[in-house]
Structure 1
Amino acid sequence: MYLRLLVILVIVFLHGHVSIIMASDPDPIQDFCIPNPKFGSIKTLAHLSILPCKNSSEATTDDFVFSGLKSSGNFTETGLSTIPVNPTVFPGLNTLGMSFVRADLKVGAINPPHFHPRATEITYVVQGSVYSGFVDSSNRVFARVIEQGEVMVFPRGLMHFQMNVGKKPAMVFGSFNSQNPGSQKIPSAIFGSGIDVELLEKAFGLSPKQIGTMRRRFDPKTLK
């Protein structure tokens, strides 16, 4: 009986640890891995696992410096600008298990509810006042206004959001514990993905006309 109990405990222990290991980016097996341009350039994150590293003796300081965050990017109709930084634009991050983003919000602008399936995010407010928060799996909301110099964490896989509630433009930096955190915006996932209209009618109590309006608004072909 005791042996059986011991075996069960060992299985539970190993299952928990294997799940933790598999849930994060793999550990690097060298100091760094700058993709070798001789084998092609990084176009999408899907290519990262098949591009060989260039010889470490050929690495330069420039491989580990990124200068693309000096100004904001293009703004969406919601007043949001984001510049994601991952190995596709900053090869020095490859295999290091991290990435980050600069986000600028005009006055009153929002970062719509979304989540990152593969990473926890830590957000630092560089300037402004940003109403930020997330919703846990029991639908409890954790939200407050965070000011310049403050930090908030969004646990992996949980829906979170931001809104500039200040009188000036806001800027935040987000850091992820994955080089490919993924991002799925809730409105676009629901109304811009082609889910059956009848299901949406029953789920949200909307008419076909209202759903059509929402679909046109969140159609990925028209979103910028």
Structure 2
Amino acid sequence: MNPNFLTIWFLICLSLQCVTTLASDPDPVQDYCIPNPKFGSIKTISHLLTLPCKNSSEATTDDFIFSGMKLIGNFSDTGLALIPVNPTVFPGLNTLGMSFVRADLKVGGINPPHFHPRATEIAYVVQGSVYSGFVDSTNRVFARIIEQGEAMVYPRGLVHFQMNVGKKPATIFGSFNSQSPGLQKIPSAVFGSGIKEELLEKAFGLSPKQIGKMRRRFDPERSN
């Protein structure tokens, strides 16, 4: 972990305070809302869903502290490891209109094109060199290599991406102005969602064999 981790985390928290002033989630009506375990855990978070709060007198300091981002998560075949942080694992975030993610990229690893339908994201490079960018609604690309200590913003709903172009692993901390930003990966949405093959063949100029190969790659049920 970077030796300046605490300083970096403090800077991220400051940036989050700026983001949440324009939060896309409903404004909280109390100081905080720690979910009451009597009503079950948060299995699925919607931008409109909050669980009943437990009595504020039962809240503890531990409810507002999360230590699960100290270590790297599990890597995917694209060289990406993600640790998403929302009220599911961090109860103190509930109703506050924010969430986080730690992303680690192996050398050459990528975070494939994706978007968040309910949140703007700020990505802060803790270490490494990352080719980072997004595409606007006119298909204009805004991208460049960002280094340790730099940040980039991805407007809500726009496709964005990242790739480690350095010679060492890269670590990024992302913050969202929603406790449920949503995530839609473009390859999985297109080839792993069950869209009619004939349409995909016409849209991308691919043969049925090629479509089948892409579906096996991005649809977990077909790969088994």
Q: State the partner residue of 2:100.
A: 100
Work out the CA distance in 1 between the residues paired with 2:48 and 2:30.
15
Provide the residue aligned with 1:54 in structure 2: 54
Q: Equivalent residue of 1:221, what SS? A: helix
- Report the Cα distance in structure 1 between the residues aligned to 2:46 and 2:117, rounded to whole angstroms: 16
Aligned to 1:170: 170
Gaps of 5+ in 2: 1-22
Alignment-derived partner of residue 5 in structure 1: none
Counterpart-to-counterpart distance in 2, 1:78 and 1:97:
30
Note the C-alpha offset of 1:50. 5.2
TM-score (norm 2): 0.87
Q: TM-score, normalised by structure 1?
A: 0.87
CA distance in 2, matches of 1:50, 1:116: 20
Give the structure with higher Rg (CA).
1
1:58 partner amino acid: E
Residues 188 and 220 in structure 1, CA contact (< 8 A), matched pair in contact too: no
- How far apart, CA to CA, are the structure 2 residues paired with 1:163 and 1:205? 27
Query: Which residue number corresponds to residue 195 of structure 2?
Result: 195
Post-superposition Cα deviations, 1:151-187, rounded to whole Å, max 9, x if no partner, equal 0000000000000000000000000000000000000
Contact 1:197 1:208 in 2 (8 A): yes
Residue 221 of structure 1: CA displacement? 3.4
CA contact (8 A) 2:130 2:163 kept: yes
Corresponding position of 1:14:
none
Residues 45 and 83 of structure 1: CA distance in aligned 2, closer, same or farther (over 3 Å)? same
Opposite residue 40 of structure 2, the aligned amino acid is G
Match of 2:86, as an amino acid?
Answer: N
Whether contact under 8 Å (2:47, 2:180) holds in the other structure is no
RMSD over equivalenced CA pairs, Å: 1.5
CA deviation digits over 1:31-81, x for unaligned, max 9? 000001122122221498352101111111000000100111110000000
> What pairs with 1:65-80 in structure 2 (closer than 5 Å)?
65-80=65-80
Cα distance between partner residues in 1 of 2:221 and 2:176? 27
- Displacement over 4 Å in runs of 4+: none
Percent pairwise identity: 84
- Cα distance in 1 between the residues matched to 2:162 and 2:112: 7
Distance 1:30 1:81 in 2: 35
Q: After superposing the two structures, state which structure 1 stretch, 138-147 or 211-220, moved more.
A: 211-220
Larger RCO, structure (CA 8 Å, separation 6 or more) = 2
Aligned residue for 1:4?
none
1:29 paired with 2:29, answer yes
SS of alignment partner, residue 202 of structure 2: helix
Structure-1 residue corresponding to 2:179: 179
Number of residues of Structure 1 aligned to a counterpart in Structure 2: 201
Displacement after TM superposition at 1:24 (Å):
1.7
